[in-house]
Structures are given as structure tokens and as C-alpha cells.
Structure 1
């Protein structure tokens, strides 16, 4: 339990930051889900558009510190590979 005023303030700050990070992570997952749906539907144009949005959102999460840089890059790379595979088929 927080006793000092500084630790009480830290608890409040952490709670605010956790809420923001949770919302950002949820937003990233939403864009990833939209990409998967476009991919499974077989719509190349929608998949490309969803990929651009998902990539942008992932990299934004990286800059905000929600996702590690390597994790973001790995996910974008895998999404792009899926998009290329769909385009080739």
C-alpha cells in the first residue's frame, strides 16, 4: 500500500498510463483483425488498405512504447509476407 504522497501520486500516474496503453494495444489489435478479415475475404484492395493502416498503427504503438521496436517490425514483416503471398496467388 502506498504511504508517502509521492508513491500515491505514482500509483495514480501508473493507473492513467495503464489505461492509455491498454487502449492503444486494443486499437492495434483491431487494425490487425481488420487486416486478417480482408485477407480471408480475398479482397486484395481492401487487404492492402488494411495493411497500410495496420502498419501505421503498429509503428505508432512502437513510438509510444506500447510495443517493442523489434516486435513491431516483426509483425509488420509477417503482415507484408501474407499480403505478398495473397497477391501472388
Structure 2
């Protein structure tokens, strides 16, 4: 199956969303290469970066599920590297 490298940027404006975010990220943990979270206390938001190596459908599904949580915004950036057909 073809996979892509992607970065999902997440802005969390509602701290109550943390439990839902973590539950969803756990469901996709097999595809997540790394995660970095930055609390921006002065603005009362959190910024999370998720790096994935997964099929397009999986990346889109994760981004979409996160973006449907109230108080959460996402944006996905894909690598221009050729798709990897060797991972199955």
C-alpha cells in the first residue's frame, strides 16, 4: 500500500478537547512517527504537530476526525517525496 509522509498541524482553543484528541491519536498511533505539543499559555491555546507515514486515506481520516472536535482546527501538509510502495 502506498504511504505518504505528512505533517498535521493542530490548534486547540478549548482545553476540554484534550481527552478526545488523545483518544483519536492513540487510535492512529501505529502510523504516527512523532508528536510535539506546545502550550501557549499567554493565548490559552495549544499547538500540536503530528508527523505520519500512512496512506492518504488514513492521514485524511485522522485530520478530519480531529477537525470535527469543537475548538480544534487542523491543517495537513504532505511531503513531495515519491510515494512508498515498498511498505505493506
- TM interval, shorter chain, is 0.3 to 0.5
TM-score w.r.t. length of structure 1 = 0.35
- Please, what TM-score do these two structures have when normalized by structure 2? 0.36
More helix by share: 1
Q: Report 1 or 2 for greater relative contact order, CA contacts < 8 Å, sequence distance ≥ 6.
A: 2
Q: Which has the larger radius of gyration?
A: 1
